[in-house]
Chains A and B, each alone.
Chain A
Amino acid sequence: MSPSVSQILARERSRGFAHLRGTKLAGRIPIPGEWINQAVRDSKPEDSDSPVKGIALAIQDATRGTLLVSLDKWPLPKMFEVPFLWDPKLDLTGPGAPLLRLTHEVTGLLAPAIPIIVGSAKQEGIRAEGRHVTIALGTLLQKHGLSDLIPLLTHLELRGVPGKLWLTFELSIPEK
């Protein structure tokens, strides 16, 4: 019996892709909004004492979305919307890369509370500063068994259409 493509790839991964040097891949992958929301739910720590009880993402267009945040035990509305923009080109450098950078558009009294709420969610790889939130997708990719591909990425872009995101990537395995 011949080894399957999966078996060959799995073995090459364990060898650091030594026999696949010079490989170049490119592609675009749709990510259904339902999958993203399930991944967000799955990533919430079970024993979390965070006031954030739920987060749901609605994607509007190429770089704009809204987070529907539900809270508990918090002197704020039980549910509120956080409209935000994101930078479609992901940063491939630095700890936790790829980094997705969001800028929220919440105004009024709730705006200063956003970094506090993000911090209280205690989600690994997510940090907020002022209007900006950075999500270290490297942490997420590690959980899905793809962390060894991160150093090989040369381009990563995330654009939305209503209901889904499109991930565009380029990957290269250096010759040496």
Chain B
Amino acid sequence: MKELIEKALAGGLKELAGLELSGTVPIRQELINEVIAETLQSGVPEVKKSSERPAIDVNALIPHVKKAEVSAEGGKLTLHFQIKIDEN
């Protein structure tokens, strides 16, 4: 299974052609400030280790992002995104 997933990642996820994901993610200021602090410190705190790891690294989907917008309303930021892996 691992080999199949690695092969798919190497091939640009062609096996997952047609995949669509969309969502809205409210972004709390604590998270934004944390990311800013980490960026300024040029370091990323170690993530608590877990025996569970997703099969596919979500970073592999970034080239397939079709839309990513941030809206701000009432002091609250919300990320709207759409990901699609094209059929060809």
Which single residue of chain A is at the shortest CB-CB distance from B78?
A: A22
Which single residue of chain A is at the shortest CB-CB distance from B29?
A: A19
Whole-angstrom CA separation of A24 from B82 in the bound complex: 12
Contacts of A76 in B (CB 8 A): none
Contacts of B42 in A (CB 8 A): 1
- Report whether B55 and A7 are in contact in the complex, using a CB–CB cutoff of 8 Å: no
Q: Residue-by-residue, is B36-59 near A (CB-CB < 8 Å gives 1, otherwise 0)?
A: 001100111101101011110111
Residues of A in contact with B, size category: 35 or more
- Report whether A19 and B55 are in contact in the complex, using a CB–CB cutoff of 8 Å: no
Contacts of B50 in A (CB 8 A): 13-14, 145
- Report whether B16 and A1 are in contact in the complex, using a CB–CB cutoff of 8 Å: no
Contacts of B62 in A (CB 8 A): 5
Is B72 part of the contact surface with A, judged by Cβ < 8 Å?
no
Which single residue of chain A is at the shortest CB-CB distance from B85?
A: A30
Residues of B in contact with A, size category: 35 or more
- Report whether B21 and A27 are in contact in the complex, using a CB–CB cutoff of 8 Å: yes
Contacts of B44 in A (CB 8 A): 1, 3, 7
Interface residues of B in 1-60 (CB under 8 A from A): 1, 4-5, 15-28, 30-31, 35, 38-39, 42-45, 47-48, 50, 52-55, 57-59
Distance in Å: Cβ of B84 to nearest Cβ of chain A? 10
Q: Which residue of A9, A19, A20, A42 has the most chain B CB atoms within 10 A of its CB atom? A: A19
The interface stretch among A33-41, A67-75, A113-121 is A33-41
Is A60 part of the contact surface with B, judged by Cβ < 8 Å?
no
- Report whether A25 and B52 are in contact in the complex, using a CB–CB cutoff of 8 Å: no
Distance in Å: Cβ of B49 to nearest Cβ of chain A? 9
Distance in Å: Cβ of A62 to nearest Cβ of chain B? 15
Given contacts A7-B47, A23-B23, contact A2 B52 (CB under 8 A): no
Whole-angstrom CA separation of A27 from B23 in the bound complex: 8
Is A10 part of the contact surface with B, judged by Cβ < 8 Å?
yes
Contacts of A147 in B (CB 8 A): 52
Whole-angstrom CA separation of A39 from B47 in the bound complex: 28
5 more CB-based (< 8 A) A-B contacts, given A20-B25, A24-B24, A29-B19: A20-B26, A24-B23, A27-B23, A30-B18, A148-B52
Residues in chain A within 8 A of chain B (CB atoms):
1-14, 19-30, 32, 34-35, 38-39, 42, 142, 144-148, 166
User: Which 8 A-B pairs rank lowest in CB-CB distance, beginning with the nearest?
Assistant: A145-B52, A25-B23, A27-B21, A22-B26, A19-B31, A14-B48, A3-B44, A10-B47
